[in-house]
């Protein structure tokens, strides 16, 4: 079904079965598969392939040479339909690739709203991305990665499969993310080392200075205490019931995960 207000260039292919919403603009040399759903006000500039069982949310804009909804690159990929869901008002720049999920892990790759994907970023199968995230140029997410709201990943960084990146974390350019990164954490290097808190990002998000100081105190108790990181975090939880960001870090550490936690020491050479 193609809405009457959609504008489709005659040099593009929209296969029968695709759903094209109101005021969608599809520029030249695009290919839209038969199971694709483009919501209202989506813009494909040119040379964009949207494939598979893919839904693109309202107002999202996709630039040339992006391939969205391609099959999973997992060796376990089967011919069974899996999905990619992209939220509203995302910007997907040149050469970005996003894959559908795998049957073995729920069959869905999910991308939230208001995200910015710079040129040649890659989102692999079964990833889960929140809202207001920035993936800079050439960022690579392996399969099953979780990225929470407002995280920023610097250019050329790579994230190991099943890793979690917490809310408003900052990953430095060219960093190798082998382990989970706490909310508000900063990670740099290859191998990646936790280098403190994203204090600038916290301030820009409107978190007040006294709260930031509380979070920094909790960070030191967790990572510089005498026990393990998980033991230290659990021990101080009761002291931070009135500090939501600190509790967020503590709960992130306590959650089950397939990966260990990044720390100021894990990954440090020599």
- What distance in Å separates the CA atoms of residue 165 and residue 113, rounded to the nearest whole number? 17
Catalytic entry in 143, 154, 166, 185:
143
193, 215 contact by CB (below 8 A): no
Question: Residue range 21-25: average pLDDT?
Answer: 98
pLDDT at 270 over 60: no
What pLDDT sits at residue 72?
94
**Mean pLDDT across the chain:** 96
Helix/strand/coil (H, E, C) string of the chain?
A: CECCCCEECCCCEECCCCEECCCCEECCCCEECCCCEECCCCEECCCCEECCEEEECCCCEECCCCEEEECCCCCCCCCCCCEEEECCCCEECCCCEEECCCHHHCCEEEECCCCEECCCCEECCCCEECCCCEECCCCEECCCCEECCCCEECCCCEECCCCEECCCCEECCCCEECCEECCCEEEECCCCEEEEECHHHHHHCCCCHHHHHHHHHHHHHHHHCCCCHHHHHHHHHHHHCCCHHHHHHHHHHHCCCCCCECCCCCCCCC
**Distance, first Cα to last Cα, the chain:** 61
Tens-place pLDDT, residues 256-268: 999 999 999 987 7
The active-site residue out of 52, 101, 126, 154 is 126
Look up 143 and say whether it is catalytic. yes
Crossing angle between the packed helical segments 244-254 and 229-236, to the nearest 10 degrees: 140
pLDDT for position 267: 76
Radius of gyration of the chain (CA): 20
Q: Give residue-wise pLDDT tens across range 138-156.
A: 999 999 999 999 999 999 9
Q: How far is CA 213 from CA 11, 96, 121, in A?
A: 57, 38, 34
Active site residue 130: no
Would you state the pLDDT for residue 13?
A: 98
This prediction has a pTM of: 0.97
| pLDDT tens-digit map of 183-194 | 999 999 999 999
Q: Which two tokens stand for residue 263?
A: 């720390």
CB-facing half-sphere around the CA of 17: CA atoms within 13 A: 9
Q: How far apart are CA 134 and CA 121, in angstroms?
A: 10
Share of the chain above pLDDT 70, in %: 99
Q: Which one is catalytic: 47, 125, 144, 160?
A: 125
Bridge-partner residues for 123, per DSSP? 98, 141
The stretch 93-106 carries a mean pLDDT of 94
Tell me if residue 126 is catalytic: yes
């Amino acid at each position: 079904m193609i809405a009457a207000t959609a504008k489709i260039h005659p040099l593009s292919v929209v296969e029968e079965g695709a759903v094209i919403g109101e005021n969608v603009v599809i520029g030249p040399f695009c290919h839209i598969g038969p199971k694709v759903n483009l919501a209202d006000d989506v813009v494909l500039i040119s040379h964009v392939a949207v494939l598979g069982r893919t839904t693109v949310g309202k107002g999202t804009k996709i630039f040339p040479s992006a391939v969205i909804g391609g099959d999973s690159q997992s060796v376990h990929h089967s011919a069974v339909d899996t999905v990619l869901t992209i939220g509203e008002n995302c910007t997907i720049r040149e050469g970005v690739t996003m894959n559908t999920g795998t049957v073995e892990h729920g069959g869905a790759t999910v991308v939230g709203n208001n995200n910015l994907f710079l040129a040649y970023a890659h989102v692999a199968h079964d990833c889960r991305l929140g809202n207001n995230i920035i993936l800079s140029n050439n960022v690579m997410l392996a399969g099953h990665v979780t990225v929470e709201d407002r995280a920023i990943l610097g250019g050329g960084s790579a994230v190991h499969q099943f890793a979690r990146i917490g809310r408003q974390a900052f990953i430095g350019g060219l960093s190798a993310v082998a382990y989970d990164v706490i909310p508000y954490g900063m990670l740099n290097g290859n191998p990646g080392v936790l280098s403190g808190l994203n204090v600038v990002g916290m301030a820009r998000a409107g978190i007040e200075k006294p709260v930031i100081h509380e979070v920094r105190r909790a960070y030191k108790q967790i990572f510089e205490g005498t026990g393990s990181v998980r033991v230290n975090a659990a021990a101080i939880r009761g002291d931070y019931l009135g500090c939501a960001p600190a509790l967020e870090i503590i709960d992130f550490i306590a959650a089950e995960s397939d990966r260990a936690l990044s720390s100021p020491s894990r990954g440090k050479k020599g």
